[in-house]
Copies of this chain bind each other. A is one copy, B any other.
Amino acid sequence: MEKRTFKNTIYAAIAGMTKAFSSPNRLEIIDLLANGEKTVEQIATQTAITVANASQHLQVLKTARLVRSRREGTFIFYSLNGLKSYAAWKALRDLAQEQEPAVQVTLQRFRQALGSPVQELRERLGELPRDKTIIAYCRGPFCTYADEAVQLLHANGFKALRLEESYLDIQLDYN
């Protein structure tokens, strides 16, 4: 086989896999699945797309071996397939956060624009210990709730930190 043919095959195969990453909806799905397995309908609801469209994207991700599925009754649960899939998503995200002004700016605004659902936390502040540091966790760096929680906790005199990494990040550290 010609050297050029080898190269063409390899780069085409990698690009094929990479294409699965290059759609906003699929990235959001990957980001969701980094938090644990989900059904098609959950994914559709949380990403605000139709079920058929979510299913379609999931097929693309599955063909590229980025996600896997298991059946449980009438439900099919999807999850990320392996740590390297997550590692690649993380590398792309880090890169974009460093180099894409749109991401930097929006993310900052996103985290400042305090919203709502720290409501329960506010109501149950009394149940939290004051002698310990509280770690606020929230899936991925694109979820704002951890930030809101930390701000609320600080305002009320608690020691609190935001956990920057998702659970898959923590696993990555051990490999």
Chain A residues within 8 Å of B, Cβ to Cβ: 1, 3-4, 6-19, 21-28, 31, 48, 65, 81-82, 84-85, 87-88, 90-96, 98-100, 102-103, 106-107, 109-110, 113, 115, 142, 144
Contacts and interface: CB of A to CB of B under 8 A. Distances in A.
A156 to B, nearest CB: 24
A14 B101 CA distance: 11
A102 B25 contact: no
A94 B113 CA distance: 37
Nearest to A91: B91
B100 A95 contact: no
Given A3-B115, A18-B96, 10 more contacts: A10-B107, A10-B110, A10-B142, A14-B27, A15-B21, A15-B24, A15-B26, A17-B100, A65-B99, A91-B91
A94 B84 contact: yes
B87 A95 contact: yes
